[in-house]
């Protein structure tokens, strides 16, 4: 089952997606306003610890992604080295 933060995040993404209809975006706004205090819900950015294996995996993916700048890759390498 999805957490509140995931559900709210999905609605926020829908609102910002240029490929979704105005009707769908309006529904997402209504859900955020009525059920999630406008989208202000606790989530990973509110003090919850991130899974270090997921963080490492994301950093490794950054290193292999050809669309990522050299500066971002260097930052990812440094963060991986510190783990």
pLDDT of residue 53: 87
pLDDT of residue 4: 79
Judge whether residue 47 has pLDDT over 80.
Answer: no
Q: Are 34 and 51 in contact (CB under 8 A)?
A: no
Judge whether residue 77 has pLDDT over 50.
Answer: yes
Q: Which two three-digit tokens encode residue 36? A: 């999630």
- The pTM assigned to this predicted structure is 0.49
For 57, 64, 66, the CA distances from 69, given in Å and listed in that order, are 18, 11, 8
Judge whether residue 44 has pLDDT over 50.
Answer: no
Helix or strand (DSSP H, E) at 77: helix 70-82
Per-residue pLDDT reduced to its tens digit, 50-60: 778 888 999 99
């Amino acid at each position: 089952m999805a957490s509140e933060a995931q559900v709210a995040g999905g609605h926020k993404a829908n609102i910002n997606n240029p490929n979704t209809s105005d009707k769908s975006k309006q529904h997402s706004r209504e859900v955020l306003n009525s059920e999630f205090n406008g989208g202000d819900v606790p989530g990973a950015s509110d003090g919850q610890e991130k899974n270090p294996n997921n963080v490492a995996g994301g950093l490794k993916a950054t290193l292999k992604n050809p669309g990522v700048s050299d500066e971002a890759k260097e930052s990812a390498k440094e963060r991986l080295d510190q783990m």
